[in-house]
Amino acid sequence: MLLLVQIDLSNTDLALFDDYEAGVLALLPSHGAALIERLRSADGQAETHLLHFPDADALAAYRADPKRGALQGLWIRSGATSTAGEVRRLGTG
């Protein structure tokens, strides 16, 4: 499954966010997941991630990972907000 994460960085302490992000992205392989693409807008106000998870159970395990939970304080203090949703690839025409 593919997960698209869109992150609003407009009111964010980027140092805290970057610390959080480094920690949670490092957990992906232990859940069979991978970061496919990571993009930050030219103005630094937004970031988008495309993640691959083997299945919904792997995503649930990642979200419930205690190591990820231990990093939530950084996320909260950073001020970042995000939305996430499952996406699918479309053919090119």
Distance CA(9)–CA(54), nearest Å, equals 28
The pLDDT of residue 93 is: 62
What is the average per-residue pLDDT within 68-80? 97
The dihedral over CA atoms of 37, 2, 26, 59, expressed in degrees to the nearest 10, equals 170
Beta carbons within 10 angstroms of residue 62's beta carbon: 20
- Give the separation between CA 44 and CA 8, rounded to whole angstroms: 9
Taking the domains of the chain in order of start, what are their residue ranges? 2-78
Q: Mean pLDDT of all residues in the chain?
A: 96
Per-residue pLDDT, averaged over 25-40, amounts to: 98
Does CATH place domain 2-78 in 3.30.70.100?
A: yes
Q: What angle do CA 53, 54, 59 make, to 5 degrees?
A: 50
Predicted model pTM: 0.91
CB atoms within 10 A of CB 91: 4
Q: What is the mean pLDDT of residues 58-71?
A: 98
Query: Mean pLDDT throughout 71-91?
Result: 96
Using the predicted structure, report yes or no on whether residue 20 has a pLDDT greater than 90. Answer: yes
Three-class secondary structure of residue 53 per DSSP: coil
